[in-house]
Amino acid sequence: MPRTFDEALAWTGLGTRLLTGAADAALDEPSALPGWTRGHVLAHVAANADALGNLVHWAATGEETPMYASPEDRAAGIEKGALLSAAALRAWLRDSARRLETAMDALGADRWGAPVVTAQGRTVPAAELPWMRSREVCVHAVDLDTGVSFADLPAGFLTALCADVVGKRAAGPGPALLLTASDADARWELPGAGVPVEVTGPLAGLTAYLTGRANTLTTPQGGPAPALGPWL
């Protein structure tokens, strides 16, 4: 079943609560993302809220307001944010999330269909913004590596995320896969190179695998699941 707008809003709220709850950990410690501390993760998510706020403004007013000035500006902002004090970084995370929520609540129903352009250059209706934000907060709550896992997220979110990632990966190079959730009624075929490889496992494990996170999935022959390139 396709995800709904209301589901995306609910998942955004859940992910924000998980993320802010986990933000009390030591922020100078490594995250689950190579080369990033937990501070980098929080800075990235806080900057994302401000950037999505730009797109809400675009949808509300028709005034073209890109998410970021440039990829370089985006990267520099994350590095600068990661150097903030823990208190300042946590405040930015909370305040940026609150500003985005307020802006989305104020967006008129007739403006959710307005086209905006993502940082990847895709033109999407503003109604996609809650889904985009839910991915950020939910996945990065896991990336903080403080005990939150994909198994803590709703099955509906995981299913929607897997479908989203499979759709993106289908447009690029990679191995052909047959993915089956062992604990849910969910299955995906990912076109690619070679004979399709069967990968079966818990929905949370499939989500970790597809998004490039650590996992223990194996093929029927017992070997590791085929390596995948970057998701985004």
The tens digit of pLDDT for each residue in 7-41 reads 999 999 999 999 999 999 999 999 999 999 999 99
Q: Do 61 and 22 belong together in one domain?
A: yes
Q: Do 110 and 171 belong together in one domain?
A: no
The amino acid that residue 101 corresponds to is E
CA dist., res. 63 & res. 65, Å (int): 6
Pure H helices in 1-154:
5-22, 38-61, 71-82, 86-106, 129-143
- Give me the pLDDT at residue 231, please: 86
CA dist., res. 187 & res. 191, Å (int): 13
- Give me the pLDDT at residue 209, please: 98
Q: Do 130 and 163 belong together in one domain?
A: no
- Give me the pLDDT at residue 232, please: 79
Query: Does a structural domain hold residue 225?
Result: no
- Asked if 189 contacts 177 with a C-beta cutoff of 8 angstroms, the reply is yes
Q: Do 159 and 141 belong together in one domain?
A: no
CA dist., res. 188 & res. 162, Å (int): 8
Query: Does a structural domain hold residue 174?
Result: yes
Give the domain range for residue 171: 155-210
